[in-house]
Amino acid sequence: MKKSSSPTRRTFLKATAAALAAPSIVPASVFGRDGRVPPSERIIMAGIGIGSRGTHDLRWMIRESDVQFVAVCDARQQRRQAVKQIIDQWYGNNDCATYRDIRGFLAARTDIDGVLIATGDRWHALASILAMRAGKDVYSEKPSCMTIAEGQGVVDTARRHRRVYQTGLQRLSEGNFIFANELVRLGRLGKVHTVRAHIAPWDSAELSHAWLPAQPLPPADEVDWDEWLGPCPWRPYNEAYTRGAWRGYYDFHTSCIGEWGAHTFGQCQVAIDAADTSAVEYGYVKNDSGDGMVTRFANGIRMILNRGGWEGSCGGWRGSCGVCYEGDEGWVATADGYSQPDVSNPALLGDFKKIVQDYLDRTQRAPSHVRNFFDCVKSRRQPVANPVVMHRSMTTVHAANICMWLRRDMRYDPVKEAFINDDEANRLRARAMREPWII
């Protein structure tokens, strides 16, 4: 009789006992014993369109111990590979997956909790909407929408799908800017009558409708031109677009007003308790930038757009993306690179640290913009730069641009979200979107 090759009860028991006696090698990180957050408690993230600004955000985010990046989606192979290398080097593996098609990526990666979106302006709103529809929370760079209608779409989608959305108005989470806003809220400047918002001191409010010369189209895996264009009208490929030369073109950019106004308008509107509304009046100025434009909110406070210095009060900024708030009892101004804000009276700085700490305690927000986002991903609270803050401040940006393009004063109804008695301006609240890239 042929001997059976099946194990006997005795050999099975011996093998089982040996296996149980052998030490099991399980990485301590699985249980969080090495100080790392266990995988089950980590926020799984991916990047969409990660260029120079997005790389800054990515390096900021991956330092958070409860965050893990696992994928990148980009129309350009060069950027996909560059970002994959950053992520793989950080985690010491080769696990970062790459995708070029946003729809396929969002459909395939049901494991991802949130996305960092840092494309050019043209894609911010649409990518945010597609991601939130797919169940992802969103951190989007700014300018966060190309039109008033796109901003409405982001607000509606976040609300409908109960997603956490934070736009990159990081100064709302920085001490100097928090302090300036709190001086207004606490009444330390008296009755505030004027705020000033920095707009970019380059480019123009007028945007070009021209095309760069056509160049041979590269293979789709190298540059997926249709994907790169997204909702914008088709135009011939030119490599310069993909390297940042899209700025200054109507189809791609929000002008010098949007370039920095996407930062500073929101800052000012939060300070004057107008985060859920937009300016109601816009005064046309006869220059190519909007420098000196006076806007007014329903509460009577003026917001003046400035590229640089002006007469009176603090007289200007020493850094980028500055704001200045003027009241009948004093003023405060700050910008990037300030160690402390400039103030009309040094006594205002006496309890700088206390005022900032009181704000953090009262709001329970982290003094880090990305940390505020991740905390809200876990708690489901609204972040400081939530969809409404983004949309209402970007509406002010878009209305200021439309004022400059049509070369006349404007009045806007923030309740109806429409210009008053101006059909031509109202038609510019939205743009046609190229199929299939539609909201």
Per-residue burial over 170-193, b = 16 or more CB atoms within 10 Å of its CB, e = otherwise:
bbbbbbbbbbbbbbbeeebbeebe
- β-pairing verdict for 165-167 and 330-334: unpaired
Position 23 scores a pLDDT of 43
pLDDT band at 35 (very low <50, low <70, confident <90, very high): low
Query: Which has more pLDDT, 264 or 308?
Result: 264
Per-residue pLDDT tens over the stretch 141-159: 999 999 999 999 999 999 9
Position 24 scores a pLDDT of 45
Distance of CA 226 to the CA centre of its chain: 23
Backbone torsions φ then ψ of 127, nearest 5 degrees: -60, -40
Distance of CA 254 to the CA centre of its chain: 14
Position 315 scores a pLDDT of 84
16 has pLDDT over 80 = no
Length of the chain: 439
Q: What is the 3-state secondary structure (H, E, C) of 200-259?
A: CCCCCCCCECCCCCCCCCCCCCCECHHHHHCCCCCCCCCHHHHHHHCCCECCCCCHHHHH
36 has pLDDT over 80 = no
Residues of the chain with CATH 3.30.360.10: 171-206+253-427
Cα dihedral 27→62→122→240 (10° resolution): -100
Q: Dump the DSSP string for 39-87.
A: GGGSEEEEEES--HHHHHHHHHHTTSTTEEEEEEE-SBHHHHHHHHHHH
Residue 159 is given by DSSP the state H
Strand, coil or helix: 324: strand
CA-closest candidate to residue 273, choices 378, 373, 192 = 192
What value, to the nearest 5°, has the Cα angle with vertex 257 and ends 255 and 260?
A: 105
What value, to the nearest 5°, has the Cα angle with vertex 87 and ends 369 and 172?
A: 10
**Mean pLDDT estimate for the chain:** 93
Cβ pair 400, 278 in contact under 8 A:
no
Separation between Cα atoms, residue 280 and residue 298, nearest integer Å: 6
Assign 3-state DSSP to the chain and report helix, strand, coil percentages, each to 5.
40, 15, 45
244 has pLDDT over 60 = yes
Separation between Cα atoms, residue 82 and residue 92, nearest integer Å: 15
Side by side, the strands of the sheet bearing 114-117 are 97-99, 67-73, 43-48, 114-117, 137-140, 165-167
Domain covering 37-170 in this structure, CATH number = 3.40.50.720
Strand, coil or helix: 294: strand
Find out whether the peptide bond into 213 is cis, omega within 30 degrees of 0. Answer: no
pTM: 0.91
Residues of the chain with CATH 3.40.50.720: 37-170
Using the Cα atoms of residue 42, residue 48, residue 51 and residue 54 in order, give the sign of their dihedral: negative
Position 118 scores a pLDDT of 98
Per-residue pLDDT tens over the stretch 389-434: 999 999 999 999 999 999 999 999 999 999 999 999 999 999 999 9
Per-residue pLDDT tens over the stretch 310-325: 877 888 888 999 999 9
- β-pairing verdict for 137-140 and 165-167: parallel
Q: Would you identify the CATH topology of the domain 171-206+253-427? A: Dihydrodipicolinate Reductase; domain 2 (3.30.360)
